[in-house]
Amino acid sequence: MGMAALGPCSRGPQQSPLTIPGGTRQSPINIQWRDSVYDPFLKPLKISYDPATCLHIWNNGYSFLVEFDDSTDRSIIDGGPLENQYRLKQFHFHWGAINDWGSEHTVDCKFYPAELHLVHWNAVVYPTFEEAVMEGDGLAVIGVFLKLGARHEGLQTLVDALPAVKHKDTVIEFDVFDPSCLMPSCPDYWTYAGSLTTPPLTESVTWIIKKQPIEVDEDQLEAFRMLLFTSDGEEEKRMVDNFRPLQPLMNRTVRSSFQ
Ligand SMILES: NS(=O)(=O)c1ccc(S(=O)(=O)c2ccccc2)s1
Ligand SMILES: [Zn+2]
């Protein structure tokens, strides 16, 4: 059975972390800024998303996912630490019940109220997403921290649609959205080899964590918190604290694209 992962940071209420027995590259982790190593060979991350590839918003009972048509290379990322281009499949968020926590990764043990994950897969090497999920270089996830501040106009179009996916297993069409509007202006990022943070927890993710957070306001965070883990007709459980506890760094180095 997995040993409890006693990370360096303490976060509020924390279930005993589910560590994968034998896992050596689990996520999320605390990024200790001074321990990250500048890698001058890291390229700038290239992002080119086609807003028309946006399909729908789905409450899957864990988060809300904005899913994209990944049958072609119309929405991709390239460069950065990646050896191939990766196709955008979906993006989703993790958040807390209150603003003191909610992100999955931390920076010098600082939690953010929420974290955005844009999930991409290596369609150059693997024929399907499902196969890519099982391979060490199969997935690339961009993590963007959300901090409390000004209202985010680009996010608002998404927030306005959330009441329609309040319950688990509800979906609504969402046919034009450009996730580039959720990217911070600063190009700096950290990168490390990690895993999915929800089952199947496979160690197939190249994480690219943006250094600069984006700002959202309290009403926008509250809109996330009015979603439900539960289906219509079940006793309501608010969708909050849908983050995994910090996992041990083990034998990994976090690289930075900046000095
Ligand atoms: N939080 S995270 O970005 O690490 C993450 C968890 C799950 C996914 S997935 O939707 O790609 C997926 C992958 C395999 C099976 C089902 C969903 S991405
Ligand atoms: Zn995630």
User: 128-178, pLDDT tens digit by residue?
Assistant: 999 999 999 999 999 999 999 999 999 999 999 999 999 999 999 999 999
Beta pairing partners, 47? 77
User: 35-75, pLDDT tens digit by residue?
Assistant: 999 999 999 999 999 999 999 999 999 999 999 999 999 99
Q: What is the pLDDT of residue 21?
A: 73
Residue 117 alpha carbon, nearest atom of ligand 1: 3
Residue 130 alpha carbon, nearest atom of ligand 1: 14
pLDDT at 14 over 90: no
Helices (H), the chain: 129-132, 153-161, 218-225
Taking alpha carbons only, the member of 27, 13, 12 closest to residue 200 is: 27
Q: How far apart are CA 251 and CA 191, in angstroms?
A: 14
Ligand nearest the Cα atom of residue 70:
1
Q: What is the pLDDT of residue 8?
A: 66
Closest residue to atom 13 of ligand 1, CA basis: 133
**Concatenated DSSP letters for 55-81?**
EEEEE-SSSEEEEE--SSSSSEEEETT
Q: What is the pLDDT of residue 22?
A: 82
Q: How far apart are CA 259 and CA 257, in angstroms?
A: 7
Report the relative pairing of strands 106-107 and 30-31 from DSSP bridges. parallel
In this prediction the ipTM stands at 0.98
Distance 124 CA to ligand 2 centre (A): 23
CB atoms within 10 A of CB 41: 7
The two three-digit tokens of residue 91, written as one number: 């993006």
Q: How far apart are CA 88 and CA 122, in angstroms?
A: 9
Ligand nearest the Cα atom of residue 141:
1
| 68, 89, 90, 119, best to mutate for ligand 1 pocket (most atoms within 8 Å of CB) | 119
Q: How far apart are CA 117 and CA 228, in angstroms?
A: 19
Instruction: Report, as an integer, the average pLDDT of 121-127.
Output: 98
Confidence of residue 101 (pLDDT cuts 50, 70, 90): very high
pTM: 0.95
pLDDT at 7 over 70: no
> Strand ranges (DSSP E) for 83-204?
86-95, 106-107, 114-121, 139-148, 170-173, 189-194
Q: How far apart are CA 87 and CA 74, in angstroms?
A: 8
Write out residues with Cβ below 6 Å of ligand 1: 90, 117, 119, 133, 141, 196-198, 200
Phi, psi of 160 (to 5 degrees): -65, -25
Distance 96 CA to ligand 2 centre (A): 13
Report the relative pairing of strands 64-68 and 54-59 from DSSP bridges. antiparallel
The radius of gyration of the chain's CA atoms, rounded to the nearest angstrom, is: 17
| 70, 198, 209, 243, best to mutate for ligand 1 pocket (most atoms within 8 Å of CB) | 198
